A and B are shown apart, each in its own frame.
Chain A
Amino acid sequence: MGKEFFILMKPELGLMLIIFLLLILKIWDGIKEKTTLLSIVNIVLLLNFVAGFFFNKEGTLFSGMYQTNDILVLEKSILSFGTLLISLIAWDWLKKHEHMLEFYILLLTTLLGMNFMISAGNFMMLYLGLELATIPLAALCNFDLEKLKSSEAALKMILSSAFASCILLFGISMLYGTTGTLIFSELPAHLDGGMLQMLAFIFVFIGFAFKLSVVPFHFWTADVYEGSPVAVTSYLSVISKGAIVFVFISTLINLFSTLGATWYHLLVISIVMTITAGNLFAMRQDNIKRFLAFSSITQVGYILLGLTNGTDAGSASAIYFLVVYIFSNLAAFGVVSMVSEQTGKENISDFNGFYKNNKVAGWVMALALFSLAGIPPTAGFFGKMFLVTAGAAKGNYLLLAFASLNMVVSLYYYLRVVKAIFINANENPIEKVQSSFPVKIALGICMLGVIATGFYSGIYDYIVSVIK
């Protein structure tokens, strides 16, 4: 206990602090002015993010239930950074929302849950973190209180995730039964690859694959994304996905490394199904949020591709890609939220001739989409390339060919949107959308990231150095 404890658990403690602060604000109900509240919150988040880079240490707490090291801290800071961006982008929406504080409380709770999940030392914590990151999120999906779709989305979210976590739990219980331990450090020793264990392992894997919306466990994604408020959607698509990916990177891979071949094949199959289905579904979407949902599914496929590498290089490329992905996807969502905020239009066809009145926003959207499609000079190109490179390391060139040819397919639907923005004619295109200062900042940061992250190799080098 003591100083040690505070340093190690800094991110979580910070978050808890903020949450309680917000609670107090809520109860005391002193500040009426929304904007000030918002700015306070954002500042605190910023502090939390910045704090993530100072005095980090390795170590474990609570008899190995909680572990932390530089990578985990880095991952946590990435997540909190993404959350910060989201809260900036959501500014306009939140200003109108009467439950703004609750929104933040729930949001941060989920973030906290993710942090615990990432640095969990045994299955109990892992599961707890997962639920902590899920249940409030379901509530968040419902935050467009008077919108029907919103609550339907929440329903779908809660029911399917409950089902998924049931599967996960069953798997965990079986693992417990077959290995007799829940602690990660002890588990690999007990893994003998027996059939029941395999069953358990697959159940566990699927429990997480669901959260990653790997095909065929992805069906909830589109509906939930469409229904939820844009802020939540972006949070779902970026942060919670990212968290799970981090769990994969820092926990599961090492955990089940003894099941190497099966693990690899499992990933390969998921990749193939995910990329294919993601592309095929995204091709004909008209609602832009659904579209982005499916595109994010495809992206997950590529992330897994990077993970097949199984070495540090793979993890590094995955983390790097997530950083890029946060920038690009949030930029896209930012524009979408602006538009849907002010015009309520969410269809790709509504974006026809968008460029006419919104030069900057048009370019932001376009760049974001290019980055998602992996087109240079955006950072997305580098991200994808590194993933694919990592994926090819095992010498599975068929998989490589599959992935790189699917990039072309995905380019098709990204270009559909670009085409709508720039090319398609429209007699009454969307008027000029206004955006408040924080949103501008957020988008600016995103654009900076989208362009600079690729050329400036420092970030990637930093990640590598941390992982080493």
Chain B
Amino acid sequence: MIIGGAIMAVTSLKIFRAAIYLLFSLIGIAGLYFWLNYEFIAAVQIVVYVGGIVVLIIFSIFLTHHSGEDMKAPKIAQSVFAAIAAAAGFALTLTLINRHSFLVGAEKAVEPSVNNIGMQMLSTTEHGYLLPFEVISMLLLASMIGAIVIAIKIKPKA
């Protein structure tokens, strides 16, 4: 489902459908997280991606498209070349991964419960992630401002 969705998403010519396929693929990933019982991440995934980004994307699609029309198909040569390159990369990475024997960490697992996560996220002690949290807030702020400034409506030239 993930892969399928992804492939459809990058190939379908109807941009709107592409967005929907992307949505499916993302939800699939969320499912995967659930299955790995990382509920928190799954939740974040669904909230941010499904609830945020995809919606954003769809809005922008509405803004920039008269719905329903096809996108221009990619140039053949370009897509072929890209396909080859991607395939090559895929093969390369996979072979390397298969060659590689992953060493398993010894220490006992930490329960990735929301509680734990919350504690760690806001603590500055060992395994504390306060700083990144702060920094991200700065980042969000900045990008918000930037986005506003840019996207703010300027008089369309006659």
Contact = CB atoms under 8 A, between A and B. Distances in A.
**Complex contact flag A–B (Cβ < 8 Å):** yes
Contacts of A131: 139
Contact of A178 (B102, B136, B147, B149): B102
A199 interface: yes
B19 to A, nearest CB: 18
Interface stretch (A51-59, A134-142, A246-254, A415-423): A134-142
Interface in A174-194: 177-178, 180, 194
A65 B150 contact: no
Interface residues of A, number: 40
B131 A125 contact: yes
Nearest to B98: A196
A105 B135 contact: no
Contacts of B102: 177-178
Interface in A93-109: 99, 102, 105-106, 109
A1 interface: yes
A139 B150 CA distance: 7
Contacts of B127: 63
Given A62-B130, A63-B128, A177-B102, A102 B145 contact: yes
Given A125-B135, A132-B139, A196 B146 contact: no
B131 A139 contact: no
B131 A106 contact: no
Interface string A1-36: 100000000000000100100000000000000000
Nearest to A110: B142
Nearest to B141: A109
A128 B135 contact: yes
A210 interface: no
Interface string B57-68: 000000000000
Nearest to B147: A139
Given A63-B125, A63-B127, A195-B99, A135 B154 contact: no
Given A102-B145, A195-B96, A62 B138 contact: no
B131 A194 contact: no
A396 to B, nearest CB: 30
A128 B138 CA distance: 10
B69 interface: no
Given A129-B135, A154-B150, A196-B96, A105 B103 contact: no
B132 A124 contact: yes
Interface in B42-86: none
B81 to A, nearest CB: 15
B132 A106 contact: no
A145 B148 CA distance: 12
Contacts of B124: 1, 61-63
A109 B135 contact: no
B37 interface: no
Nearest to B130: A62
A106 B145 CA distance: 8
Contact of B135 (A99, A116, A145, A194): A116
Most A CB within 10 A of own CB, among B97, B147, B150: B150
A194 B150 contact: no
B88 to A, nearest CB: 13
B100 interface: yes
A145 B29 CA distance: 38
Given A177-B102, A178-B102, A195-B99, A66 B150 contact: no
Contacts of A199: 92-93, 96
B139 A145 contact: no
A427 interface: no
A170 to B, nearest CB: 9
Interface of B: 92-93, 96-97, 99-100, 102-103, 105, 124-132, 135-136, 138-139, 141-143, 145-147, 149-150, 154, 157
Given A113-B139, A129-B135, A139-B146, 11 more contacts: A19-B138, A62-B128, A62-B130, A65-B131, A65-B132, A136-B142, A136-B145, A139-B142, A151-B150, A154-B150, A180-B103
26 contacts: A1-B124, A61-B124, A61-B131, A62-B131, A63-B127, A65-B132, A99-B149, A102-B146, A102-B149, A116-B135, A128-B132, A128-B136, A131-B139, A138-B146, A139-B142, A139-B145, A139-B147, A139-B149, A143-B149, A145-B154, A151-B150, A177-B102, A178-B102, A195-B99, A196-B96, A196-B97
